[in-house]
């Protein structure tokens, strides 16, 4: 079982590749649709699982609260961009403009997470618990993937 850090980093690496793949597509092509759908669903489940397993632990320490809150706030901003892009016509020039914003913001977020947040988290999550948190993260991510459409429907009703 991977550690929590390895599990999150592996997702980030996959997301970086998907962002590159999407950027290399054009219009409302099948390649763009497939890459976007994979990215959208994986980032949504990743962020929810991360908040529930990783950030919930980090926020339990006073000195970790700012980092956790900042990252969760960025998750919300990124989620708003994901939803906006999911509703927008992929063949419009506006879609790629917003995608570039999403890509920039997301890459900044994951770099910050890997460089700064992981350092703080290692003071809260002892090495002996890294694999337990990794396992919980992976399990929660699978559950969250099943809930994406349901949560989206609830959000649209609000």
Each residue's pLDDT tens digit, 63-113: 677 888 889 999 999 999 999 999 999 999 899 999 999 999 999 999 999
- pLDDT exceeds cutoff 80 at 154: no
CA torsion, points 72, 77, 78, 84, in degrees to nearest 10?
Answer: 150
* CA separation for the pair 84, 91 (Å, rounded): 14
DSSP assignment, residue 77? H
- pLDDT exceeds cutoff 90 at 44: yes
pLDDT band of 54, cuts 50, 70, 90: very high
Angle (nearest 5°) at CA 27 between 41 and 32: 30
How high is the mean pLDDT of the chain?
Answer: 91
Is the separation of the CB atoms in 13 and 5 below 8 Å? Answer: no
- pLDDT exceeds cutoff 60 at 158: no
* CA separation for the pair 149, 87 (Å, rounded): 14
Within 8 A by CB and 6+ apart from 46, the residues are 8, 11, 15, 141
For position 69, what pLDDT does the model report? 87
* CA separation for the pair 23, 103 (Å, rounded): 9
């Amino acid at each position: 079982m991977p550690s929590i850090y390895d599990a999150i980093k592996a997702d980030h690496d996959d997301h970086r590749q998907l962002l590159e793949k999407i950027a290399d597509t054009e219009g409302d092509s099948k390649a763009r649709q497939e890459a976007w759908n994979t990215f959208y669903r994986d980032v949504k489940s990743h962020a929810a699982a991360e908040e529930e397993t990783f950030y919930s632990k980090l926020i339990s320490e006073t000195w970790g609260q700012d980092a956790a809150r900042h990252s969760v706030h960025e998750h919300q901003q990124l989620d708003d961009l994901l939803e906006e892009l999911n509703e927008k016509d992929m063949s419009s020039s506006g879609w790629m403009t917003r995608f570039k914003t999403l890509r920039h913001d997301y890459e900044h977020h994951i770099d910050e997470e890997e460089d700064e947040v992981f350092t703080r988290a290692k003071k809260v999550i002892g090495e002996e618990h890294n694999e337990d948190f990794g396992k919980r993260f992976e399990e929660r991510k699978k559950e969250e993937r099943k809930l994406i459409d349901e949560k989206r429907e609830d959000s649209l009703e609000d």
